[in-house]
Amino acid sequence: MESHGRLGIVAALAAALLAPGCYQARHAYAGPKLLTTGPGLGTEARVVRHFREHDRQLFLLYGLLPLGEPANGAQMAARAVGEHDGAVNLRLSDGQDLVDMVVSNVLCVMGVLCGTWSVWAEGDVVQITGSTEQVWIRPGDPSVASPPPDAAPYVPILAPIDPEEVR
């Protein structure tokens, strides 16, 4: 009878270790800052500084209940840009570092009671030095120069201004 109890404990620990939980992070941003994973913005810009940001979120009950503001790498990058125009060479990642693993697996009893999840954002803050104008494109149709009345399927981008076209 006693072996069934031990087998249940071993099975519960194995399930806690192998189950994925619900820890998650969003990487979404819809504000005025230009964020790109590429090396440039399509116009002249100068690199102001490099940034590396880190945020940690606490979860309860094996990641089911997040506490506090959701971890968001893109929002974190936009805050790091500050008063400048955007970020290039942006890298976003999430997961657990050594501190997260100690908190989740030791202090929080294998992540069952609580746990932490980290988000990292790294890139270069840039300031646009060339002239730009806002143009609108529909994915697959770059010939549209201004937004139509129904601008929902259109995406605003910044494009260099050709001095010959400005009169």
Neighbouring C-alpha atoms within 13 Å toward the C-beta of 51: 26
Contact 104/61 with Cβ under 8 angstroms? no
Alpha helix (H) ranges present in 26-97? 73-81
* Residue 75 burial (C-beta neighbours within 10 Å; 0-12, 13-18, 19+): buried
Assigned token pair, 65: 């209940």
Q: DSSP 3-state assignment of 48?
A: strand
Give pLDDT tens digits for 14-30. Answer: 655 555 556 777 788 88
User: Structural domain boundaries of the chain?
Assistant: 2-129, 131-167
The pLDDT value recorded for residue 155 is 46
The band of 120, judged by pLDDT with boundaries at 50, 70 and 90, is: very high
Give pLDDT tens digits for 58-108. Answer: 888 777 778 888 888 999 999 999 999 999 999 999 888 899 888 888 888
Q: Which CATH superfamily is domain 2-129 in?
A: Hypothetical protein apc22750. Chain B (3.30.110.70)
Q: How far apart are CA 6 and CA 9, in angstroms?
A: 5
Q: How far apart are CA 73 and CA 94, in angstroms?
A: 8
